[in-house]
Amino acid sequence: MSNVTYTPEEVANILKISKFTVYEMIKRGDLSAYRIGRKFRIQNSDLEDYIRKSKGGYLAQPATTTSEQSPSNPQYAPVSTMADNPNEFPETSTHSNYARRSSLQNGSLVICGQDILLDILTRHLQKQFPHISFLRQYSGSLDGLIALYHGQANVVTTHLWDSHTNEYNLPYVRYLLPGYPASVVNIVYRMEGFYVAKGNPKKILTWSDLARPDIRFVNRERGSGARVLLDEQLRLADIPHQRVQGYADEEMSHMAVASRVARGEADVGLGIEKAAMQVSSLDFVPLHKERYDMVMLMEDLVKPHFQALLSILKSDSFRNEVAGIGGYDISEMGKIMGEV
């Protein structure tokens, strides 16, 4: 019975709820799912696990009608499907740490993050460990660290700026992983800034410009590194978020934000330079150099898969491939930024 799988529609029939509620459950991480092509499948064991948790009070909530409702976002997706769906995927954790401990025993390793660099990294890992399934979890930086803490991920990437210390990632790792010593390793540095229309007709240049009444902003979802950077900068500039027109208008990825601006649905959005390079009708206003790091638990570093991952980050083949893409600073790739 453990090999039986269901479609979201079949799960909806079993639970007597809307299929859109099922998609929302998957998106929040309440119900585990995986993708085959563009279709979701839910294992019977995961459905039974959800039902068991529901009896303890973890009940499905009604689906919302926000832009985050799209069923195109998986909780976990094989790396081979990643190019079809680059969206980040926030998650609410209710699983135990058993999931992390058992993932390698079950032949899979879960990597949180969105950047295309993780495509390259997992491809290198697959060459060395063809028997391991490297799965991607599309979550923002904060949600990724929470997933690591709750045992839903093995490796997470993060780019969270703390304005109090002017430090990236370490303060968040320190407070979000209590009791779990972790190593923080740099992947790349990236430039965060504004996506604006070609020629920047509205002359949007600073954080304060976001409060102008003639500016329409498109935001990232809560928990993403870009959202944290925005909120920190608004706080430093003493700008209440209510003054930013479009603050509540959220998208789930850099490319989605860039696309909205390119289509004229917003005047400005915040994201990394690499996404702007892929959209010819946009200009990019650089604002903040960010550190994009990888976080792993110290207890995992002795395992061969994690040792291989660290070796790949330091290898010439990986560094050269990333350098050839453009848009990244690889000067400290593979360097340990801290052990917390």
Helix or strand holding residue 187 (H, E): strand 182-197
Q: What is the dihedral of CA 221, 222, 226, 229, to 10 degrees?
A: 150
Instruction: Name the pTM for this structure.
Output: 0.71
Grouping H, G, I as helix, E, B as strand and the rest as coil, residue 251 is strand
Burial (Cβ within 10 Å: 0-12, 13-18, ≥19) of residue 319: middle
CA distance 251 to 262: 14
Q: What is the DSSP string of 7-66?
A: -HHHHHHHHTS-HHHHHHHHHHTSS--EEETTEEEEEHHHHHHHHHHHHTT-PPPPP--S
- CA 175, 178, 181, 182 dihedral sign is negative
Grouping H, G, I as helix, E, B as strand and the rest as coil, residue 137 is strand
pLDDT of residue 114: 85
Cα Rg of the chain (Å, integer): 20
- DSSP summary character for residue 329: B
Q: Which residues pair with 36 in a beta bridge?
A: 39
pLDDT of residue 103: 52
pLDDT of residue 47: 87
pLDDT of residue 65: 31
9 close to 16: Cβ distance less than 8 angstroms: no
The pLDDT profile of the chain, 340 residues, written as one tens digit per residue, is 446 888 888 888 888 777 767 877 787 777 888 877 668 888 888 888 888 776 544 333 333 333 333 333 344 444 433 333 333 333 333 333 444 444 544 557 889 998 989 989 999 998 988 888 888 787 889 999 999 999 989 999 999 999 999 999 999 999 999 999 999 999 999 999 999 999 999 999 999 999 999 999 999 999 999 999 999 999 999 999 999 999 999 998 999 999 999 999 999 999 999 999 988 899 999 999 999 999 999 999 999 989 999 999 999 999 999 999 999 999 999 999 999 9
pLDDT of residue 38: 67
Helix ranges (H only) for 212-268 are 225-236, 254-262
Q: Which residues pair with 161 in a beta bridge?
A: 168
pLDDT of residue 277: 92
Pairing of strands 39-43, 5-6: antiparallel
Residue 110 Ramachandran class (φ > 0 left, ψ -120 to 50 alpha, else beta) = beta
| CA proximity to 268, closest of 334, 181, 197 | 197
Grouping H, G, I as helix, E, B as strand and the rest as coil, residue 265 is coil
Output the CA–CA distances (angstroms, integers) from residue 294 to 184, 207, 273, in the order listed. Answer: 6, 28, 20
| CA proximity to 200, closest of 284, 289, 286 | 284
Residue 236 Ramachandran class (φ > 0 left, ψ -120 to 50 alpha, else beta) = alpha
Q: Which residues pair with 76 in a beta bridge?
A: 137
- CB atoms under 10 Å from CB of 178, counted, come to 7
Question: With b meaning 16 or more CB within 10 Å and e meaning fewer, what string describes 85-116?
Answer: bbbbbbbebbbeeebbeebbeeebbbbbbbbb
